[in-house]
Structure 1
Amino acid sequence: MTKKEIKDDLLEQLEAQGKYQNYYLDLIEDYMKYYDLKRKCQRDIKEKGLRYEVVSGNGFKSEKPNESVQNLMKITTTMLKILDELGLQNPINTSDNSDDDYY
């Protein structure tokens, strides 16, 4: 599902509820900005993993936790709060029939 499809789905849900005010449209824009941040965190985790190696100024190697993991959890929580505030549901991905998406 593309970003545009997600936004369109959320806007359709708003329209079905008769919510046309700018307040709601602004929340959708916020949701989409968080969507972009979520994707960036996911890419960073995929590239670096949960932990990654760093070299300190004095040449010692150590591992650091990837901050994107914590940020991803916070971003997801915020996105769910926005949907709750709007009274909307998560868009359902109908193009992917993967069993992993269905619990």
Structure 2
Amino acid sequence: MGKSKISILREAILSDLTDQLDRNGTTGQYYSDLVKDYMKLWDTKNRLILDIELRGVTVESVTSAGTNLKKNDSVDQLIKLNAQMLKLLDSLGIKPAQSDGDTDDEM
């Protein structure tokens, strides 16, 4: 059985991060550990996104007063997690690659 798309993407991101550290001359176990932390956050981010896709941005909450809608806590957690991931990349000295502006990516 082949690897899932998410598994392939995870491996590609891990490889990219490691390659960027090598190109920047950033070496050592400390930085390797930070990359592992980043990937754990990446895994958690994907689980939060899946939860939001499955349950939506609001969820039913059953209390003694009845059933109400409340915000899905995964939304706030996703925002906080993304901020932490960006801080980790900054600590690693990894910046977005500069493109030549000649891409077909959608916004």
TM range, normalised to the smaller chain?
0.7 to 0.9
Question: What is the rounded CA distance, in whole Å, between the counterparts of 2:61 and 2:97 in structure 1?
Answer: 38
Equivalences, count: 96
Instruction: Name the structure, 1 or 2, with higher relative contact order (CA <8 Å, separation 6+).
Output: 1
2:29 aligned partner: 22
What is residue 82 of structure 1 aligned with on the other side? 88
Structure 1: give runs of 5+ residues left out of the alignment: none
Give the counterpart of 2:51 among 44, 47, 66. 44
CA RMSD of aligned residues (A): 2.1
Structure 2 distance, partners of 1:4, 1:55, is 40
Q: Which runs of 4+ in 1 moved over 4 A?
A: none
Question: What TM-score do you get using the length of structure 1 for normalisation?
Answer: 0.84
Distance in 2 separating the partners of 1:90 and 1:60: 48
TM-score, normalised via structure 2 length:
0.81
Identity of aligned residues (%): 36
